[in-house]
Amino acid sequence: MTDTAAQPTRLLDLANPTRFLSLAGTLLPWLAGLSALVLAAGLYMSVNAPDDYQQGMTVKIMFIHVPFAWLSMMCYTLMAASSVGTLVWRHPLADVSAKAAAPIGAAFTALALITGSLWGKPMWGTWWVWDARLTSVFVLFLMYLGIIALSRALDDPAKSARAAAVLTLVGFINIPIIKFSVDWWNTLHQPASVLRAGGSAIDPTLLRPLLVMALGFTLLFFTLHMMAMRNEIWRRRVIAMRRMAARRADEKGEEA
Amino acid sequence: MTALFIRDFRLALRAGGGALVGILFFLAVIAVVPFGVGPDLALLSRIGPAMLWIGALLAALLGLDRLFQADRDDGSLDLLVMAADRHMLGVTVLVKCFAHWTATVLPLVLAAPMLGLFMNMTPLAIGATALTLLVGTPAITLIGAVGAALAVSLPRGGLLVSVIVLPLTIPVLIFGVSAAYGATTESAPFLAPFLILAAITLFFAVIGPLAASAALKFSTD
Amino acid sequence: MNHLAFVLSSYGVSLVVLLGLVAWLLIDQRAQRTELQRLEAQGIRRRSQKAQKP
C-alpha cells in the first residue's frame, strides 16, 4: 500500500469503486432474495392481520404507507450523510450514493403521498388535507425533485455532485424549520378536529406486520440503492471509456 | 466592503432597470388577483396580506439569477473568490446579497403599501404587511443566493433557481403572512410569528452566505 | 365493501411504482453493461486497468 500512499487521490478514487462493484456483485442477490422473502412474509402477515375496530380494513394501507413515509426520511438522511462525504472527504462513492438515492427517495416519497391520499379518502372523506404531516412530506417531495433537477442540469459529474450536495445539506438544515413552521401554520388554520381519531398506541397484532413490512421495504431500498449505485459507476466508466475511444480515434487519424 | 456594496448596488440598478421591472411584475401580479377571485372587496381585504406576500416572493425570485451572473460574465466573480483569503467569501456574499436586496427588493417593500390600497386593506394591515415584508424579504434573498450560486454556471438557470428556492422559502412565507394577520385579527398573535420571522432572517444570514460561498468555490475550481 | 377498493388500489399503485423502479434499474443496468462490453471488445482500457496489468 506504499505506492497508494504516494499518490493517494488517483489510486484510491479508482480502487474504491472497483472494490464496491465486486462487493455489490456478491451481496446483491442475497439482499434481493432476503428483501423479497421478508416482504412476502410481511404481506402474508398483513393480509391476515385483524381489522381495526375504528378504521375497518383500510388500516391495511398503514402497513405500506408508514414504511414509505419512514423510508422517504431515511433516504434524505442518507443523502445528507453522503453529501457530507462528498464535500468534506471528496469520497468518490459518496456522490455516486447521493445521486443514486435521489430518484429512489423521490419514488418512495411519492408513494407515501399517494397511499396517504388513498387512506385519507375513506377515512377523512377527502383526498388531501393540508395537515402538518402531509404538507411537510409534500415539501420534502418538492425538495427531492429540485435536487434531481439540479444534478441533471449540470454536465460535469463532479460539479453536479458538489452542487447537489450543497443543496441537500441546506435542505437538511431547513427540514426542522419547515416542519416547525408547518406545525405552527396548521394549528393556526385548523383547530384539531379533522383528524387524530385513533392516536392511541398500536395494537401488537398490527404492530408486528408493520415492523416486518418496514424491515422488508428497508431491505428493498438498500437493494435498489446498491443497484442504482452500480449502474451509476458503470455509466461513468462508459463515459470515460468513450472519451478514451474518441481520443484514440483522433490520434490514429493524425498518424494516418 | 462599502465599495463593493456601492458597486453592486449601481450594477443592479443599471442592469436593465432591474428594480423597475421587479415593481412592474409585482404590480401585474397584484392587479391580476382581483380578476381571478372576483371584485369582492371583503374577500380582497381578507386575502390582501397573503397576496402581497406571494407577489413580493415571486418578484424577489425573479431577479435572483442575476445576483452572480453579471459578475461571472465579466470575470470579477473569480477575483472575488480568489480574494477569499483577504476577506471571508461568506462576508462578500452577504454584502452582495444586501446590495441586491436594497436595489431590487426594497422598492417592492416600499411599493407594497400602495398596492395594499388596491386590495382594500386597512392602514393597520398595510403597515403590518410592509413591516413583515421589510423583515422577511432579506431571508428570501439570502436563501436565493444559495440557489443562484448553485445555478451560476448554467446558461439559463433562472427557472431552476426558482424551483430550488421556493420550497425552502415556505417558512418565511408562513411566518410573514401569519404575523401580518396577527396584527389585524384579535385571536391571532402578532409578536411571536414576527420574532420567529426575524430569527429566520438572521439564521439565513449565516447559513445562506456560507452555503453560497461553498457553492461558488466548487463551481469555479 | 368500498374500502377494499382503496386498499387494493393503494397496494396496486405501490406495486406498479416499485416494479417500474426495478424495471428501470434493470434496463439501465443492461444498457450500461452491453455498452461497457462493446467498448472493452474494441480494446479500450481505462487508465487504472493499464496500471494494474501493464
Identify the CA nearest to C14 among candidates A190, A213, A203: A213
Does position A3 have pLDDT exceeding 70, yes or no? no
Distance CA A212, CA B49 (A): 49
A-contacting chains (≥3 CB pairs under 8 Å): B, C
Q: Which residue of B has its CA nearest to A169?
A: B211
Q: How large is the ipTM?
A: 0.78
Q: Does A177 touch chain B (CB under 8 A)?
A: yes
| Structure confidence by residue, pLDDT tens digits, B97-118 | 888 888 888 888 888 888 888 7
A50 vs B28: CA distance, rounded Å = 57
State whether the Cα torsion B80-B83-B88-B91 is positive or negative: negative
Q: Name the residue ranges covered by the structural domains of chain C.
A: 3-50
Inspect the interface and report whether the beta carbons of A163 and B215 lie closer than 8 Å.
yes
Among B76, B124, A35, CA closest to C18:
A35
Number of domains in chain B: 1
Q: Which three cell numbers stand for residue B212?
A: 453560497
Residues of chain B with pLDDT under 50: none
CB contact under 8 A, A166 and B211: yes
pLDDT more than 90, % of chain A: 5
Q: What is the mean pLDDT of each run of 10 residues along chain C (54 residues)?
A: 76 88 89 85 64 41
CB contact under 8 A, C46 and A111: no
**Residue B201 belongs to what domain range?**
2-220
CB atoms within 10 A of CB C12: 11
Domain chopping of chain A, boundaries? 28-185+205-243
Q: Please tell me the pTM assigned to this model.
A: 0.81
What nine digits make up the cell of B197? 420571522
Distance, in Å, from the CA atom of B163 to the CA atom of C54, rounded to the nearest integer, reads 49
End-to-end CA distance of chain B: 24
- Residues of chain B positioned with their CB less than 8 A from the CB of A159: 153, 218-219
Tens digit of each residue's pLDDT (9 = 90 or more) over A174-231:
888 877 777 777 666 554 444 444 444 566 777 788 888 889 899 999 999 988 988 8
Long-range contacts of C19-26 (CB under 8 A, 24+ apart): C21/A103, C21/A104, C21/A107, C21/A224, C22/A224, C25/A224, C25/A227, C25/A228, C25/A231, C26/A227
Instruction: Identify the three-state secondary structure at position B85.
Output: helix
According to DSSP, the residues that pair with A52 across neighbouring strands are A56
The predicted pLDDT at position A106 comes to 92
Smallest CA–CA distance, residue C54 to chain A, in Å, is 15
The closest alpha carbon to B34, from B115, B148, B137, B97, belongs to B115
Among B160, B168, B219, the residue with its CB nearest the CB of A153 is B160
Q: Nearest C-alpha of chain A: how many angstroms from C25?
A: 6
H or E element at residue A118: helix A92-124
- Between A and C, how many CB-CB pairs are < 8 A? 92
Considering just the CA atoms, what is the radius of gyration of chain C in Å? 22
- Do B111 and B26 form a contact (C-beta atoms < 8 A)? yes
Burial environment of residue C23 by CB neighbours within 10 A (0 to 12, 13 to 18, 19 or more):
exposed
pLDDT recorded at residue C53: 40
Dump pLDDT digits (tens) for A51-109.
666 666 777 788 888 888 888 888 998 999 888 888 888 777 888 888 888 999 999 99
Matching residue, cell 452491453: C34
Q: Supply φ then ψ for residue B64, to 5 degrees.
A: -65, -35
pLDDT at position A104, please? 92
Sign (positive or negative) of CA dihedral C40, C44, C45, C46:
negative
- Which DSSP letter does residue A198 get? -
The DSSP string of chain A is -HHHHHSHHHHHHHHHHHHHHHHHHHHHHHHHHHHHHHHHHHHHHHHHSPPBTTTBGGGGGHHHHHHHHHHHHHHHHHHHHHHHIIIII--HHHHHHHHHHHHHHHHHHHHHHHHHHHHHHHHHSSS----HHHHHHHHHHHHHHHHHHHHHH-SSHHHHHHHHHHHHHHHHHHHHHHHHHHHHHHHHH--TTSS-S--SPPPHHHHHHHHHHHHHHHHHHHHHHHHHHHHHHHHHHHHHHHHHHHHHHHHHHHH-
Q: In chain A, which residues have their Cβ closer than 8 Å to the Cβ of B211? A: 166, 169-170
Copy the grid coordinates of residue B87: 476577506
Residue-wise pLDDT for A16-56, tens only, equals 777 788 888 888 888 888 888 888 888 888 777 776 666 66
